[in-house]
């Protein structure tokens, strides 16, 4: 089945008198398949919003190829705009318009039945506040209104840029449930966010961008698996002796004050067997699987080599880079 979003080699440079030439996106690739809930991660200034704006025709790309629902963007974007709901960063609305009127005007402009306004407000939990002026809304309510505006069209593709901005924990949970229910209904969702735990909970696929380039992409579990060093945390009565025994057994061990971290463990029973045979009983044996945050920080947060341009596809000298071919579902790259 063809991709819902395809971006190949997107490049965008901003020129300004004050800041000079700034490369925002540098040969970025992104593929989102139908029905995916795709997380789009990156640190501030990494090019997430520029990418989304370019995809939606708000920013002119300097190079590359993009398509949305099979239509080249931005040239044919208008043909599919009615099937795409999007919010980009935190949209601003006129303060003296009510939430209902704001959506009604958008519905009118987009040729959507006005009856959808109530439904969209209901979907984001704003139905009871729809007749209040937007200037009285909290940040979270404005964010919900923005999501409601994206939902008005009953979109096949939903693009949400930082949808959890300003939401309290309950609001974040509601947004998560809403996203999930939309995905269950067959809507493809692309979510840009820096709340990594949320992305891990919501998304089945993820793409990570850093300094304008893709540094990882694929199914969430496969991306995480690519960074799994098969490490286990071990608590034991005599850690120094236990470390010696494990090293003798061929396992790399790091010793900490109250625990050990043992790497390259394919079978955890091997640890308990090696130690048990020498009368050392394991008090705790915990798998240290990577989460999205640790992967994200490893890929984007080191900042240790600012002079070395980050490369994709494993060509960078210092960075662990991986990507997945979405069509095949196979991890192609690993540590460089």
Residues that bind another protein (CB under 8 A): 14, 50, 53, 56-60, 74, 77-78, 81, 84, 86-88, 91-94, 96-97, 101, 105-106, 108-111, 149-150, 153
Our CB check for another protein shows the closer of 98 and 179 to be 98
| Shortest Å distance, C-beta 310 to another protein | 23
Cross-strand bridge partners of residue 260? 234, 255
| Shortest Å distance, C-beta 71 to another protein | 10
Our CB check for another protein shows the closer of 166 and 314 to be 166
Our CB check for another protein shows the closer of 141 and 275 to be 141
Our CB check for another protein shows the closer of 108 and 255 to be 108
Our CB check for another protein shows the closer of 60 and 306 to be 60
Query: Using CA of residue 310, residue 311, residue 316, residue 319, what is the dihedral sign?
Result: positive
What span, in angstroms and rounded, lies between the C-alpha atoms of 75 and 84?
15
Our CB check for another protein shows the closer of 135 and 283 to be 135
| Shortest Å distance, C-beta 199 to another protein | 23
**The pair of three-digit structure tokens given for residue 142, joined into one six-digit string:** 């404005």
109 Ramachandran zone, left/alpha/beta (phi>0; psi -120 to 50):
alpha
Our CB check for another protein shows the closer of 57 and 249 to be 57
Q: Report the 3 state secondary structure along the chain.
A: CCCCEEEEEEEEEEEECCCEEEEEEEEEEEEECCCCEEEEECCCCCCHHHHHHHHCCCCCCCEEEEEECCEEECCCHHHHHHHEEEECCCCCCCCCCEHHHHHHHHHHHHCCCCHHHHHHHHHCCCHHHCCCEHHHCCHHHHHHHHHHHHHCCCCCEEEEECCCCCCCHHHHHHHHHHHHHHHHCCCEEEEEECCHHHHHHHCCEEEEEECCEEEEEEEHHHHHHHCCCCCEEEEECCHHHHHHHHHHCCCCEEECCCCEEECCCCCCHHHHHHHHCCCCCEEEEEECCCCHHHHHHHHHCCCCCCCCCCCCCCCCCCCECCCEECCCCEECCCEC
| Shortest Å distance, C-beta 106 to another protein | 6
Our CB check for another protein shows the closer of 110 and 309 to be 110
| Shortest Å distance, C-beta 142 to another protein | 11
Our CB check for another protein shows the closer of 22 and 264 to be 22
| Shortest Å distance, C-beta 88 to another protein | 7
| Shortest Å distance, C-beta 183 to another protein | 21
| Shortest Å distance, C-beta 313 to another protein | 28
Q: 269-276 and 239-248 are packed helices; what angle lies between their axes, rounded to 10 degrees?
A: 110
| Shortest Å distance, C-beta 151 to another protein | 12
């Amino acid at each position: 089945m063809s991709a819902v979003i395809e971006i190949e080699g997107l490049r965008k440079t901003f020129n300004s008198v004050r800041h000079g030439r700034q490369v925002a996106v540098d040969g970025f690739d992104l593929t989102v398949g139908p029905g995916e809930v795709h997380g789009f991660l990156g640190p501030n200034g990494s090019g997430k919003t520029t990418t989304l704006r370019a995809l939606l025709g708000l920013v002119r790309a300097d190079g590359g190829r993009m398509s949305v629902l099979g239509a080249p963007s931005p040239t044919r974007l208008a043909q599919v705009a009615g099937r795409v709901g999007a919010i980009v960063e935190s949209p601003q609305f006129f303060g003296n318009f009510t939430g209902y009127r704001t959506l009604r005007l958008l519905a009118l402009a987009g040729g959507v039945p006005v009856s959808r306004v109530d439904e969209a407000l209901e979907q984001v939990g704003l139905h009871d506040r729809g007749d209040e002026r937007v200037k009285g809304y909290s940040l979270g309510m404005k964010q919900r209104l923005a999501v409601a505006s994206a939902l008005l069209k009953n979109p096949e593709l939903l693009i949400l840029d930082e949808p959890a901005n300003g939401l309290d924990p309950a609001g974040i949970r509601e947004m998560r449930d809403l996203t999930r229910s939309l995905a269950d209904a067959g809507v493809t969702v692309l979510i840009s966010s820096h709340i990594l735990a949320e992305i891990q909970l919501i998304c089945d696929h993820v793409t990570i961008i850093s300094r304008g380039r893709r540094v990882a992409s694929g199914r969430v579990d496969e991306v995480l698996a690519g960074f799994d060093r098969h490490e286990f945390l071990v608590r034991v009565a005599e850690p120094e002796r236990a470390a010696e025994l494990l090293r003798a057994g061929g396992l790399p061990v790091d010793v900490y004050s109250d625990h050990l971290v043992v790497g390259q463990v394919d079978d955890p029973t091997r640890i308990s067997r090696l130690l048990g045979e020498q009368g050392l009983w394991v008090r705790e044996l915990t798998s240290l699987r990577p989460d999205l945050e640790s992967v994200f920080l490893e890929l984007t947060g080191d900042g240790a080599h600012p002079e070395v341009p980050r490369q994709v596809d494993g060509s960078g000298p210092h960075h662990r880079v991986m990507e997945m071919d979405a069509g095949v579902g196979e991890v192609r790259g690993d540590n460089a």
